[in-house]
Amino acid sequence: MNHNALLARIGELEQALWAAPAEPSRLEAYQAAYRDLEAAIAATGDDQRHHFIIVIPVADSPQHLQTCLTSLLQQCQAYGYGGSADGRFRKVSVLLADDSAEPANIARNREIAHDSESRGLTVEYFGLDEQRALLASLDGIDLRGIVGDHPYDAFSHKGQAMMRNIAYLKLASMQAQRPRDRLLFYTIDADQSFAVNVVTTDGGVDLRALNYFYHLDRLFDDGGIQVLTGKVVGDPPVSPAVMAANFLDDAIAFISSLRDASADADYQQPSLDTRGSGEAAYHDMADMFGFGHVGSVYRYRCRNSAQPSNREAFEEFASHLNRFFHGEHPTRITWYRHAPLDDSVQPARTVYTGNYVFTADALGHFIPFAPLRLRMSGPTMGRVLRAWVGKAFVSANVPMLHRRTLDATGAAEYRPGVVDHAAQVDMADEFERQFHGDVMLFSIERLSALGFPRDALTEQQIATTLDAVRMEMHERYAARREQILARATHLRTLVVGGDPWWSALAAARAFAHFVDNIERNFGSHSAAAQRIDDTQRSAHWRGRQLAAIATLRSDRGAWRSALVRLRDRTVA
């Protein structure tokens, strides 16, 4: 079958697949057709398509890393992009950027990399020693505003943004070593997989149904795109600090529906709720990002039984409550919605740092303000990137599957900013970074309307904007905390009021612990609220943010100097 006939066949199989995605034979036929296409391309002896270097930062999360790399190997095997030679995939490789602190996890990450190598995937391990050496080679260039300033013996846990920026310097060196290769750099997170979740009549299923590399190569082929970002499906990509109000709404609705029902009666299992998929239904303040109202209540669907009793539903829901503080949203899961890829390409304003692809030319764009370690670094980067590259920055319907927690523990493997000990959760650090991340994001959005970063602004313009946005965010956060506390009080009353049938169940204690933790983290006397309200602390943040914005343009010059040195040193 010739090339055009194979493409026509793939088009037919794609239509059949999405008409019944839960039918295994349709997915198998679809993947097999792509492998036939790869064989036809290989037979020509002239495969000029892009080589993908997958950048995976990881910090003390070997189980997530194992799942991630396994999914990448399965993706390569299922679709065969680029074929293989001498037992290795020819056009897909990995740069593993290890930011771990624990020696046992570092050793395990190395083992996982070695195992992936033995299975045909080229993996370059970029550990702490290699990172230090690379930065030392750039001595004399001030990169502190981009990669931070770290003591030799405290070099790990730099955070995803600084770790990525250091990895991008490594990519520049790799690019210089391969000037004739058409490289695309694909940065992902270790808690993601090359798969999507699809709604079925009896629940959801995860499928390896997107041929990521083939389609991304095609989209970048004409040279009009420098940066392309996808999104994530599954668990939300945001902090629990901005999801509590809507989750409490769902928890209240769940308990209300059970109070007058028998424990042994059938739970009224809802169909899977896909409202808001792609519209940030999980975010308490989605309106700030231009999303409309997507429905007030999402009903919980049991995962482990097709027809559970009310008692089983109660116990299962309770088991997911603490997972919320680790980034899972039990009721507002984002589901994949299939759409023709070409039709989905549109100008972007947000970078999903765990799912974006860029060219060698785009190595000139680092993640801004990384040493501040703020939440919302991706949306903030997107506003800056849009100013620099315009229409060459796009988004497309190529999401990855996101899983925050491990099934065995119900917690994230490593989550900076959240302390969970003896049923007490403290999110003060993450909450504070979320607040100031929002301040930075919306300040940059307003400053970009004034021409920043292409145009230099005065310190007074930057300070005035920061102050105005901080005041608005403070009012928003205070109002939302009041709403959250009112909902938490209501939920507590529903759970313990009267004599509900679940009173004797151990799972009832999980609800009490959950409400306690909500009040501990969102109350007016919480550590998070005190940090945000503290005038001295706010002044310190203001000074750091003001300085970071004011020096962004000079940081860009330093970054370019570093890229030139890496190129010249490698060529020499």
Please, what sign has the CA dihedral across residues 271, 277, 283, 287?
negative
In a domain, 32, yes or no: yes
pLDDT tens figures, 461-471:
999 999 999 99
d(CA 327, CA 404): 6
Strand 400-402, strand 196-200: pairing: unpaired
The enclosing H or E element of 539 equals helix 535-550
Task: Give the E-state strand segments of 209-277 in sequence order.
Answer: 227-229, 232-234
In a domain, 62, yes or no: no
- Specify the number of domains making up the chain: 1
Task: Give me the residues paired with residue 192 across strands.
Answer: 402
311-324: b (≥16 Cβ within 10 Å) or e: bbbbbbbbebbbbb
Per-residue pLDDT at 344: 92
Question: Are 148 and 162 contacting, i.e. CB atoms less than 8 angstroms apart?
Answer: yes
Task: Please return the burial class of 137, using the count of CB atoms within 10 Å of its CB with bins 0-12, 13-18 and 19+.
Answer: middle
Tokens 């300040």 correspond to 443
Helices (H), 221-288: 244-258
Question: Which residues, other chains included, contact 1 with Cβ-Cβ below 8 Å and sequence gap of 6+?
Answer: 9, 36, 40
Question: Which residues, other chains included, contact 501 with Cβ-Cβ below 8 Å and sequence gap of 6+?
Answer: 262, 263, 311
CB atoms < 10 A from the CB of 183, how many? 19
d(CA 56, CA 353): 11
In a domain, 2, yes or no: yes
d(CA 221, CA 127): 32
In a domain, 12, yes or no: yes
Please choose, from the candidates 207, 248, 150, the residue with its C-alpha nearest in 3D space to the C-alpha of residue 28: 207
Please choose, from the candidates 64, 76, 72, the residue with its C-alpha nearest in 3D space to the C-alpha of residue 34: 76
Name the residue type at position 372: L
Structure-token pair, residue 240:
């629990």
Per-residue pLDDT of the chain (572 residues), as tens digits, is 677 888 888 889 899 899 888 888 999 999 999 998 998 888 888 889 999 999 999 999 999 999 999 999 999 999 999 998 888 999 999 999 999 999 999 999 999 999 999 999 999 999 999 999 999 999 999 999 999 999 988 899 999 999 999 999 999 999 988 888 899 999 999 999 999 999 887 778 899 999 999 999 999 998 799 999 999 999 888 888 888 899 999 999 999 999 888 989 999 888 877 766 667 777 767 667 666 666 678 888 888 777 899 999 999 999 999 999 998 898 888 899 998 888 999 999 999 999 999 999 999 999 999 999 999 999 999 999 999 999 999 999 999 999 998 887 888 888 887 888 777 888 899 999 999 999 999 999 999 999 999 888 999 999 999 999 999 999 999 999 999 999 999 999 999 887 898 888 999 999 999 999 999 999 888 888 899 999 999 999 999 999 999 999 999 999 999 999 998 776 65
Helices (H), 390-427: none
The enclosing H or E element of 166 equals helix 160-177
Question: Which residues, other chains included, contact 26 with Cβ-Cβ below 8 Å and sequence gap of 6+?
Answer: 13, 16, 17, 20
Task: Give me the residues paired with residue 334 across strands.
Answer: 234
Q: What is the dihedral of CA 537, 541, 547, 548, to 10 degrees?
A: 160
In a domain, 31, yes or no: yes
Per-residue pLDDT at 99: 96
In a domain, 308, yes or no: no
Question: Are 226 and 393 contacting, i.e. CB atoms less than 8 angstroms apart?
Answer: yes
Domain that holds residue 41: 1-45
In a domain, 430, yes or no: no
In a domain, 8, yes or no: yes
